[in-house]
Structure 1
């Protein structure tokens, strides 16, 4: 089965779908992804090094896991799916932290990442079992050590550029309040991610919003 991604336009409306692997090249279209930081009951964050055999950014240090929601798949479901695939673990909770984060980066081989990439926090008390096809190394780090990684040249471009917007005084597992001020002057806002879909046949018209949330609908 060919894995597909959700294509977006500049207004963050769903513009279509495409095969994931074939879509990542020197002119990668803008699409939906996510990045997850897994936190344990002690407040430590799981930091991973991407497997050396990965097609894009092999061997770089990054967050806990990342991936692409499939067409019709919610953000929470996509995060849980990738946590199981990459790390053999589930999560008790999944919460959006930087819902509107977007980045563009070019790998050494010229392949471009061009993503709307909501950052989420997931909490687990389970045992992590990394998949060697996805993860070279996985380590539980303190939040201070995570912030230091953002300045290193061997960290993931998307991960490093998102961290300056996170609070400096607390690990993400404790950052629960809305509009919590960060020492850099930015604010952390926990909110749903909204991706709009077009109505069939309404070229360019906005349809009802499709909510991709960190929690399943109640």
Structure 2
């Protein structure tokens, strides 16, 4: 079986799809606006999963971030993309998937000059079991209390992905597991 190259959905400023591009070529110093998602995963104790991006990642290698992010394939329902990515990246099954920040979007430039430019709805979910991450995606992982994460991001923002800090700042109400 051969791997099918991932394709991302390019979007207009209002979120309307305008085309596709291979994921391997889309992230550069001129990254076009595209559709993505981000997911914060909680365990049954209410702790949140944080992951440290693999050192081989093209953007933000080695920084800590939320559980996982990804891109839906063209015409793939967002929840299906979340389930696919959780399994591929973390070896996790998800339950209680909910959108938390439906209108989140950001543009960020990492130290190498590579740009992330995404309309990126943010989801929460519960994990079934413990992560078993893919080494090409995740260098380390940990379950932490949500308030510990907020405190760590506030005191050492350079150790975390910029989108994680912006997502935590945008959260209305408490940052906690889906109920």
TM superposition score category, shorter chain reference: over 0.9
How do 1:1-218 residues align onto structure 2 when only pairs under 5 Å count?
1-151=4-154, 152-167=157-172, 170-174=174-178
Shift >3 Å, 4+ stretches: none
Secondary structure at 1:153 match in 2: helix
Deviates more, 1:99-108 or 1:141-150: 141-150
- What SS does the corresponding residue of 2:93 show, helix, strand or coil? coil
Query: When the two structures are superposed, what TM-score results if normalisation uses the length of structure 1?
Result: 0.77
The higher radius of gyration belongs to 1
> Structure 2 CA distance, aligned partners of 1:85 and 1:22?
20
Tell me the C-alpha RMSD between the 2 structures. Answer: 1.3
Distance in 1, Cα, partners of 2:33 & 2:10: 6
On the 8 A contact 1:43/1:171 being kept in 2, the answer is no
Deviation at 1:100, TM superposition (A): 0.5
Structure 1 unmatched runs, 5+? 177-218
What whole-Å deviation, never above 9, does each CA across 1:92-124 have from its counterpart, x for those lacking one?
Answer: 121000010000000111110000011100112
> For each residue in 1:104-150, what CA deviation from the matched residue of structure 2 results, as whole angstroms up to 9, or x when unmatched?
00011111000001110011231211111110111000011111233
TM-score by length of 2: 0.93
Q: Which has the higher contact order (CA 8 A, sep 6+)?
A: 2
Structure 2 gap ranges (5+): none
Contact map agreement 2:92 2:128 (CA 8 A) in 1 = no
Matched residues, number: 174
* CA distance in 2 between partners of 1:154 and 1:127 (Å): 24
User: Which of the two has greater helix per residue?
Assistant: 2
SS in structure 2 at match of 1:91: strand
Offset from partner CA, 1:168-209 (integer Å, 9 cap, x none): 6x44214x5xxxxxxxxxxxxxxxxxxxxxxxxxxxxxxxxx
Write the deviation string for residues 21-41 of structure 1: whole angstroms up to 9, x where unpaired: 111111100000011000111
Cα deviation, residue 167, structure 1: 4.3
CA distance in 2, matches of 1:114, 1:103: 6
Distance 1:149 1:99 in 2: 25
